[in-house]
């Protein structure tokens, strides 16, 4: 690791890390080696033959996608011989390809078009040959149009590697094609509609079902942002035209290609911003009815109420708001309203210390992943991107241990499943670690003296001892005990269900006095019972509750959609969605990521922070929005682990599945994702 190799590519001296392939190494030097089947992060399969290059001393051209850099290698990427081959390959492909560039929506970003242009191939020199295959458009997400397919195999490979495994090659020779199992339409073949295949298709054979209506690639503005719909916090690239989102693709900012994935929520849920449940203006309850009022009136009214309620005010927020909103909220509540009643939904499933003590890690550096009590799954749509990241990691390097009292989707891929009680399993593992040549501090061992170990635990301990960079991802309920493993080596983190749980807590939105449960009168899970501890309850974001808690005199709901709670509110304030705000967030691995605004806030909606600043003004105080460096400082808090409690913590009564559905209800109900529910696919 870390060793650098020097080589020459087209006469230019290039330094590249040992083990890197020639395509990536050339890219470092700004040299593009043409390719159609290569996928960064995966092994080169040598299918398209576009990347053939010549290496001095070798008789035949070799493929750059599967050749590693070597010291003093001299590579030529544009010799007559390889250019001739490339031209030949493009020529062959074009002879069987609809030359529709004039109307094709891939035009402008199409790899085939790019190379045809490079070789000046207006059309193929071979006679046209075409097969007519039916277009698969039985679902509102992904359209398969095999006429355009150039058989690069990228879609087959991403889908396979991420574990959905819906696509494969069929047939031989010229009759080869990509099909689903039994050649059924996607919606009958186990497809999750993640659209990963769309992102990798070099041509127009796989596209968003409504892609045609959305405009040409060069008309779009692109925004690098983050999906805030679940704890994975995936990078997204939002394409807009006018003030409309036209499509969302997986972003590619994260350094690890394992994480270049978004699920169907992240890709297609954006329609909710203009959906039927959107709150476009402030409303106040008058005579039992919510009625529209002006923003000015609403905020003036609310300022007065907040002043009066003071300490009797409580703020509850979701853990999906941005850092900047969270920090402003924290300042507003403490400095302006002067109440210590503040908390977020993260409290429902994690204690603040757990999120604060979660470490930073790089997934693509992990050689062993240990999942404790978490069960990510693309099919139940619980933390799907984590499921994918783990699967990809395993198919590249890396091994897996699952520790879970229940069966998990990833068990089959794990080398070891410890499926008894999680706490005992981890304790047993820790106890066995010293048997495998790793020193463990007595302070820690003392705590596990009583633990019993079995063969599985010992094997897991051995694997842990042998790994150099283990990554422990734990359900918050078991984080304390699991973090002890990371005290020995590696990194541990509590896996949140919401995108910015770590950030929200780091920004100070965490209970100091009354908890979320106290204020929302939540007994267990999301069931509301009993009395709230506050008089004025201020809910920030789409808080997944459905009832105004007993004891609350005045309920403010500041959200973007008409949630169950908003319906019961005394005042509703329209909030911008994450697609309409800019700022930052902290993902589950502890990375601080920026969120770029893609579209203007709809109607009169404003970002949470703007609303708080205005309220503060109305209350006669000045509230400053945090700067990025303030946020960065708060997010970068150094984590020092110590021996942590070995006992079980109160677990969340809600299943992750139902919680995420409740949280995303507005998105699921007011976008094409509704189709999933209507056709029984959720």
Partner 1 sequence: MPAMNLQDLQSIREANRHRVEFTRNTCLMLCGGTGCRSTGSLEIKEALQKEITTRGIQDSVDVVETGCNGFCARGPILVVQPHDIFYHNLTLQDIPELVQEQLVNNTPLQRLQYKDPVSKQILPRQQDIPFFAHQLPWVLRNRGIIDPESIDQYIARDGYFAAARALLEMTPGDILQQMHKSGLRGRGGAGFPVHLKWKYASEEKSPVKYVVCNADEGDPGAFMDRSILEANPHSVLEGMLIAARTVNAGHGFIYCRTEYPLALERVQTAIDRAREYGLLGSDILGSGFQFDLEIYQGAGAFVCGEETALMRSIEGGRGMPRPRPPFPAQKGLWDRPTVLNNVETLANVPLIILEGGDWYAGVGTEHSKGTKVFALSGDVRNIGLVEVPMGTSLCSIIYDIGGGIPGKRKFKAVQLGGPSGGCVPAEYLDLPVDYEAISRAGAIMGSGGMIVMDQRTCMVDMARFFMDFVQEESCGKCTPCREGTMRILEILDRIRAGDGVIQDLWELEDLSATIRDSSLCGLGQTAPNPVLSTLKYFPKEYEDHIRNKKCPAKKCTALVKFRVNADKCTSCGLCHKNCPSGAVHWKKKQPAEIDPQKCIKCMLCLDNCMFDAID
In the complex, which residues of this chain contact partner 1 (CB under 8 A)? 44-49, 52, 60-61, 63, 66, 81, 84-85, 88-89, 92-93, 95-96, 126-127, 129, 150-151, 153, 168-169, 171-176
If binding means CB under 6 A, how many residues of this protein chain bind ligand FES?
13
User: C-beta of 678: minimal distance to ligand SF4 in Å?
Assistant: 19
* CA separation for the pair 472, 357 (Å, rounded): 13
User: C-beta of 173: minimal distance to partner 1 in Å?
Assistant: 4
- Interface characters, 13-52, with ligand FES (x: CB under 6 A): ----------------------xxxx-----x-xxxxxx-
User: Which are the contacts of 421, defined by CB distance < 8 A and separation ≥ 6?
Assistant: 405
CA separation, residue 154 to residues 100, 203, 325 (Å): 22, 11, 40
* CA separation for the pair 566, 653 (Å, rounded): 24
DSSP state of 123: S
Residue 150 or 592: which CB sits closer to ligand SF4?
A: 150
CA 406 to chain centre: 24
Residues 375-434 that bind ligand SF4 (CB under 6 A): 384-385
From 200, 451, 615, 665, residue interacting with ligand SF4 (rule: CB under 6 A): 200
Using DSSP's 3-state secondary structure scheme, residue 205 falls into coil
CA 611 to chain centre: 28
Residue 10 or 137: which CB sits closer to ligand FES?
A: 10
Task: Render the burial of 108-146: b for 16+ CB within 10 Å, e for the rest.
Answer: eebbbbebbeebebeebeeeeeeeebeebeebbbbbbbb
DSSP state of 447: H
Residue 13 binds what, of ligand SF4, ligand FES, partner 1, none (CB under 5 to 8 Å, by partner type)? Answer: none
Considering only CA atoms, give the Rg of the chain: 27
Residues 56-115 that bind ligand FES (CB under 6 A): 63, 65
Residues 107-126 that bind ligand SF4 (CB under 6 A): 107, 110, 112-113
User: C-beta of 58: minimal distance to ligand FES in Å?
Assistant: 16
Q: Which two tokens stand for residue 545?
A: 């509750």
* CA separation for the pair 615, 621 (Å, rounded): 9
User: C-beta of 615: minimal distance to ligand SF4 in Å?
Assistant: 30
User: C-beta of 48: minimal distance to partner 1 in Å?
Assistant: 6
DSSP state of 278: B
Binding flag, residue 309, ligand SF4 (CB under 6 A): no
* CA separation for the pair 339, 332 (Å, rounded): 9
Angle between helices 628-635 and 323-331 (to 10 degrees): 90
Helices (H), 549-639: 564-567, 608-618, 628-635
User: C-beta of 39: minimal distance to ligand FES in Å?
Assistant: 9
User: C-beta of 152: minimal distance to ligand FES in Å?
Assistant: 7
Residue 9 or 501: which CB sits closer to ligand SF4?
A: 501
Residue 204 or 607: which CB sits closer to ligand SF4?
A: 204
CA separation, residue 96 to residues 92, 124, 167, 646 (Å): 7, 9, 21, 64
Conformational region of residue 195, where left means phi above 0, alpha means psi within -120 to 50, and beta covers everything else: left
User: C-beta of 47: minimal distance to partner 1 in Å?
Assistant: 5
- Interface characters, 309-328, with ligand FES (x: CB under 6 A): --------------------
Residue 151 or 388: which CB sits closer to ligand FES?
A: 151
Residue 47 or 280: which CB sits closer to ligand FES?
A: 47
User: C-beta of 100: minimal distance to ligand SF4 in Å?
Assistant: 4
From 7, 22, 53, 229, residue interacting with ligand SF4 (rule: CB under 6 A): 229
CA-nearest of 560, 635, 529 to 233 is: 635
Contact residues: ligand SF4, CB under 6 A: 97-98, 100-101, 104, 106-107, 110, 112-113, 142, 148-155, 158-159, 164, 166-167, 178, 186, 191-197, 200-206, 227, 229-230, 232-234, 262-263, 265-266, 384-385, 499
Contact residues: ligand FES, CB under 6 A: 35-38, 44, 46-51, 63, 65
């Amino acid at each position: 690791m870390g060793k650098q190799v020097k080589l020459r590519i087209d006469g230019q001296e290039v330094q590249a890390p040992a083990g890197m392939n020639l395509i990536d190494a050339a890219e470092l030097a700004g040299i593009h080696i043409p390719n159609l089947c290569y996928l960064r992060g995966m092994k080169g399969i040598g299918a398209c033959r576009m990347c053939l290059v010549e290496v001095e001393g070798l008789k035949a051209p070799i493929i750059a996608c599967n050749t590693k850099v070597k010291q003093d290698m001299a590579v030529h990427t544009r010799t007559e011989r390889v250019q001739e081959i490339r031209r030949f390959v493009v020529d062959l492909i074009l002879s069987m390809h609809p030359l529709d560039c004039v109307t094709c929506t891939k035009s402008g970003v199409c790899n085939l078009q790019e190379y045809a242009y490079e070789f000046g191939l207006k059309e193929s020199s071979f006679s046209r040959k075409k097969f007519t295959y039916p277009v698969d458009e039985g679902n509102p997400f992904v359209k398969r149009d095999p006429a355009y397919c150039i058989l690069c195999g990228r879609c087959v490979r991403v889908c396979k590697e991420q574990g959905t495994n819906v696509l494969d090659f069929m047939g031989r020779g010229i009759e080869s094609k990509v099909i689903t199992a039994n050649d059924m339409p996607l919606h009958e073949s186990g497809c999750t509609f993640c659209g990963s295949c769309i992102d990798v298709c070099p041509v127009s054979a796989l596209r968003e079902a409504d892609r045609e209506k959305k405009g040409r690639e060069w008309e779009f503005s692109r925004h690098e942002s983050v999906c805030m719909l679940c704890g994975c916090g995936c990078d997204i690239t939002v394409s807009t035209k006018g003030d409309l989102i036209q499509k969302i693709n997986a972003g590619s900012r994260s350094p690890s290609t394992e994480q270049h994935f978004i699920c169907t929520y992240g890709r297609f849920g954006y329609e909710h911003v203009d959906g039927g449940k959107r709150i476009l203006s402030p409303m106040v309850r008058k005579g039992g009815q919510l009625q529209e009022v002006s923003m000015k009136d609403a905020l003036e009214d609310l300022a007065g109420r907040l002043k009066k309620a003071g300490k009797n005010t409580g703020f509850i927020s979701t853990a999906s708001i941005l850092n900047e909103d969270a920090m402003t909220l924290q300042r507003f509540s403490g400095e302006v309203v002067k109440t210590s009643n503040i908390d977020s939904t993260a409290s429902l499933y994690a204690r603040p210390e757990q999120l604060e003590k979660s470490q930073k890690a790089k997934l693509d550096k992990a050689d062993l992943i240990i999942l404790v009590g978490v069960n990510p799954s693309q099919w139940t749509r619980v933390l799907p991107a984590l499921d994918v990241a783990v699967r990809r990691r395993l198919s590249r390097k890396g091994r897996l241990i699952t520790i879970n009292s229940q069966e998990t989707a990833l068990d089959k891929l794990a080398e070891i499943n410890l499926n008894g009680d999680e706490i005992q399993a981890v304790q047993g593992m820790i106890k066995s670690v010293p048997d495998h040549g790793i020193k463990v501090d007595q302070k820690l061992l003392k705590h596990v003296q009583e633990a019993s170990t079995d063969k599985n635990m010992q094997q897991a301990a051995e694997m842990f001892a042998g790994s150099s960079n283990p990554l422990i991802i734990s359900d918050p309920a078991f984080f304390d005990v699991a973090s002890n493993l990371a005290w020995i080596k590696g990194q541990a983190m509590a896996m949140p269900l919401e995108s910015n749980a770590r950030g929200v807590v780091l920004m100070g939105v965490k209970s100091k006095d009354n908890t979320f449960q106290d204020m929302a009168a939540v007994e267990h899970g999301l069931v509301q019972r009993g009395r709230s501890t506050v008089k004025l309850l201020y809910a920030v974001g789409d808080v997944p509750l459905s009832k105004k808690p007993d004891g609350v005199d005045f309920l403010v709901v500041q959200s973007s959609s008409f949630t169950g709670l908003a319906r019961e509110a005394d005042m509703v304030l329209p909030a911008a969605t994450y697609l309409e705000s800019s700022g930052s967030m902290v993902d589950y691995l502890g990375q601080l990521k920026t969120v770029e605004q893609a579209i203007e806030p709809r109607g009169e909606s404003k970002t949470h922070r703007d609303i708080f600043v205005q309220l503060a003004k109305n209350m006669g105080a000045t509230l400053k929005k945090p700067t990025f460096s303030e946020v960065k400082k708060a997010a970068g808090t150094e984590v020092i682990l110590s021996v942590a409690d070995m006992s079980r913590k109160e677990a969340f009564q809600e299943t992750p599945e139902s919680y995420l559905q409740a949280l995303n209800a507005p998105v699921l109900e007011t976008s094409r994702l509704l189709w999933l529910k209507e056709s029984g696919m959720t």
